[in-house]
Amino acid sequence: MDDWNIDDHEGKKILIELIKEVIKDKSVETIRLPYLIKKLSRKNNIIIKKNNKVRNINNYVKIKYGNMDRLLIELNHIFCVKNNKIEISNNYKDESQEYVFL
């Protein structure tokens, strides 16, 4: 049974926002990313449950995507990895500046 308290779209949205907040305008080593998003999700009181058991954000990533690398591959239109560091993609930066998001 796969009873999460969030759907796939909402989960992806949460992960994108967490990663964006972690890296902001700098790059972060990919090996540190799981620790940093877990810390930030706790700070922001993000609660993810599966079958009524609380799971941390990294457990969600592992179950839904296999690992952090696969998640980053899926989100390669937003984030890019260079020299084992993750940063916001230049294409995404340009697009964000071109449009106003509401």
pLDDT digits 0-9 by tens, 12-30 = 999 999 999 999 878 899 9
Over residues 66-88, mean pLDDT: 90
What the block records as the tokens of 17 is 């926002």
Backbone angles phi, psi at 27, to 5 degrees: -100, 155
Question: Is residue 50, in this structure, part of any structural domain at all?
Answer: yes
Q: Residue 94 has what pLDDT?
A: 55
Question: Is residue 2, in this structure, part of any structural domain at all?
Answer: no
Question: Is residue 3, in this structure, part of any structural domain at all?
Answer: no
In the chain, the number of structural domains is 1
Over residues 47-56, mean pLDDT: 91
Question: Is residue 49, in this structure, part of any structural domain at all?
Answer: yes
Instruction: Give the structural domain span for 81.
Output: 8-98
Question: Is residue 1, in this structure, part of any structural domain at all?
Answer: no
- Distances from the Cα of 60 to the Cαs of 34, 44, 45, 65, in angstroms? 11, 16, 15, 8
Q: What is the CA radius of gyration of the chain?
A: 14
β-partners of residue 49 are 54
Of the chain, the end-to-end C-alpha distance in Å amounts to 36
Share of the chain above pLDDT 90, in %: 62
